[in-house]
């Protein structure tokens, strides 16, 4: 399958669907963009998405219940951008940025529950933009 862009918008039971179909999603090896929009009950981005090696631009917007981002980023060499917007309960982003040789832009906006940001960004020699906006509890 040569799907390049997958948009999931307003999916009420996405957590349950992803658990069932996640093994099949890893076959979408050409997927470049993955967007979760207004999936209010989505609580975590599963590690299985880390197998999507062509993924360039994953993003979440308005996923208010998102708590953890567990994606194994170090395996996604094509990753260029990562966006979290209006994910008010996001409290954890795991480390794993070290192998990202094409990573240029990282945006966290309205992630009010995020208290710490610990990923090591020193190896990201092409990082052009790092944006934190309305993340009041971030230290």
Domain range annotation of the chain = 29-133
Number of helices (H), then strands (E), in the chain: 1, 9
CA distance 45 to 60: 9
Q: pLDDT tens track of the chain, all 139 residues?
A: 688 998 888 887 766 666 666 566 667 788 899 888 888 888 877 777 777 888 899 888 888 888 877 666 777 888 899 888 888 888 877 666 777 788 899 898 988 888 877 666 677 788 899 898 888 887 7
Give the Cα separation of 7 and 16 in Å (integer): 17
Selection from 69, 115, 116 nearest residue 96 by Cα: 69
Q: Say what the pLDDT of residue 56 is.
A: 92
Instruction: Please tell me the predicted confidence (pLDDT) of residue 50.
Output: 74
Separation of alpha carbons 116 and 37, rounded Å: 24
Q: In whole angstroms, give the CA distance from residue 92 to residue 72.
A: 13
As a whole number of angstroms, the longest Cα–Cα distance in the chain is 43
Both tokens assigned to 79: 């990753």
- Cα 14 from Cα 123, distance rounded (Å): 34
- Choose among 17, 72, 14, 20: nearest CA to 43: 14
Q: Determine the pLDDT at residue 105.
A: 93
């Amino acid at each position: 399958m040569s799907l390049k862009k997958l948009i999931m918008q307003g999916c009420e039971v996405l957590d349950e669907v992803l658990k069932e179909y996640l093994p099949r999603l890893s076959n979408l090896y050409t997927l470049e963009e993955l967007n979760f929009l207004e999936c209010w009950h989505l609580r975590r981005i599963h590690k299985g998405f880390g197998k999507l090696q062509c993924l360039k631009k994953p993003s979440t917007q308005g996923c208010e219940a998102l708590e953890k981002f567990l994606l194994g980023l170090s395996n996604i060499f094509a990753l260029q951008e990562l966006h979290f917007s209006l994910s008010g309960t996001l409290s954890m982003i795991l480390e794993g940025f070290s192998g990202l040789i094409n990573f240029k832009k990282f945006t966290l906006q309205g992630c009010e529950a995020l208290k710490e940001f610990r990923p090591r960004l020193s190896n990201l020699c092409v990082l052009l933009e790092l944006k934190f906006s309305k993340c009041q509890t971030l230290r």
